[in-house]
Amino acid sequence: MPLPDQTAAQLESIRQQCARGEPCWGDVESHIPVERYFSPELWRAEVRGLFRPLPLIAAHSSELAAGHVLAHDAYGVPLLIARDGDGAVRAFLNVCRHRGMRLVAPGPAARELGSVVCPYHGWTYKLSGELRHMPHADAFDRCEPGGRDLVALPCEERHGLVWVVPEPGGTLELDGWLGGLDGELPFYEIDRLQLFRTIEAEYPANWKLIIDAFLEPYHIRVLHRDTIYPFFCDGITAALRFGPHTASLVARRAAQEWAAQADAPPPGTLAELRKLASPTHFIFPNTVTIFHPDYLSLITLYPTGPETLRWTHRMLIPRDKCTPDWLPHWEKTLQLIDRGVFEKEDIHCAVQTQRGLASGANRHLTAGRMEQGLAWFHENVMRYASSSA
């Protein structure tokens, strides 16, 4: 598959920046009031305006084989995601229609179930959500057809990802929501990957501090000096907006050599592109994809409170490298990236930043021209949060 148009345009920008030795940054400095990182009112408005009505990525397709169900609690709403025997994926509230018991307990992986049986009194549901059995059914009045089926949530599987709107009665319209990004994503072949491991953790920081870190390359040279900076160019990046979403390419050192050869062909495959630049997508409001040279980090965040976040990092690897001989490589890689780069560096900075935000040292945080992605992000957060007021 050839490079999609906008990815090709971004790579051309990187080629020109490398060739001229002049990075291309945004036009203006921007300022973010510090209250946005600890205000309880804004947190409530974000949950209402971003984390309930918008499509959120709840799983990778490889997590759910046919006939499996997955309990998902990371978004503050008990979700049950099910793939029936025909391969269709649906999402429901993980709540029994009798007296509200949680149906399936969260676990590290999806479970193969012929049907979902409530552990309290045994109401039994098909994976389509239809109530199919009630012990002592004659103890209950009749109700309208479907009136005791599981509460379905808008759900769609696309690009290897399961998208859910965690609000009953909500709408999911991915064509319009993804806009131009919808045409770029197939090239990245997320659907051809396999989940290797999911790391979940809670941290004492506002969720936006983590997104901020993934939207700018400014910190790579200093914060990641001893880990990933040796692979990257300093400050050479190309970012494009697709509605509220952002796609970026961050130039790797190999890009300089490539750009210096006037007749060097452009990369023809994703693997070739990843040697020159690391693609990163920010899918509004809470998902970041980072394409490392041979695997993908899929990161989703949720604000559990104004100053606390839930971190979910799925490491996705090529299907043909899921064999036992590859396991030590992936284990080592996971330790290096999740524990080393993310936890000890990016998340550490977010947690340390949170501690001083309310100290009065700053009334706003300053984002320079190399950090324009933060201004785009915060503009959209405020737009959607205020629409919920």
Of ligand FES, Fe ion, none, which one does residue 346 interact with (CB within 5 to 8 Å by kind)? Fe ion
Nearer Cβ to ligand FES (122/169): 122
Among candidate residues 381, 382, 24, 387, the one with its CA nearest the CA of residue 238: 24
Distance in Å from the first CA to the final CA of the chain: 44
Exactly one of 8, 19, 101, 152 binds ligand FES (CB under 6 A); that residue is 101
CB of 378 to Fe ion, least distance (A): 18
Pairing of strands 232-242, 193-203: unpaired
Q: With the C-alpha atoms ordered 140, 142, 144, 146, is the resulting torsion angle positive or negative?
A: positive
Nearer Cβ to ligand FES (106/368): 106
Nearer Cβ to ligand FES (99/319): 99
CB of 310 to ligand FES, least distance (A): 27
- The region of 156-164, 180-188, 323-331, 338-346 touching Fe ion under the rule CB under 5 A is 338-346
> What distance in Å separates the CA atoms of residue 225 and residue 95, rounded to the nearest whole number?
47
Exactly one of 123, 218, 284, 376 binds ligand FES (CB under 6 A); that residue is 123
CB atoms within 10 A of CB 189: 16
E strand or H helix that includes residue 20: helix 5-20
Nearer Cβ to Fe ion (47/290): 290
E strand or H helix that includes residue 48: helix 40-49
Contact call for residue 133 and ligand FES (CB under 6 A)? no
Of ligand FES, Fe ion, none, which one does residue 8 interact with (CB within 5 to 8 Å by kind)? none
Nearer Cβ to ligand FES (98/369): 98
CB 49 within 8 A of CB 151: no
Exactly one of 44, 48, 68, 98 binds ligand FES (CB under 6 A); that residue is 98
Q: Return the amino acid letter for 159.
A: H
Of Fe ion, ligand FES, none, which one does residue 99 interact with (CB within 5 to 8 Å by kind)? ligand FES
Q: How distant is the alpha carbon of residue 90 from its chain centre?
A: 19
Contact call for residue 99 and ligand FES (CB under 6 A)? yes
Q: Return the bridge partners of 357, or none.
A: none
Cis, peptide link before residue 186, omega less than 30° from 0: no
Residues engaged in binding Fe ion (CB under 5 A):
346
Residues engaged in binding ligand FES (CB under 6 A):
96, 98-99, 101, 118, 120-123
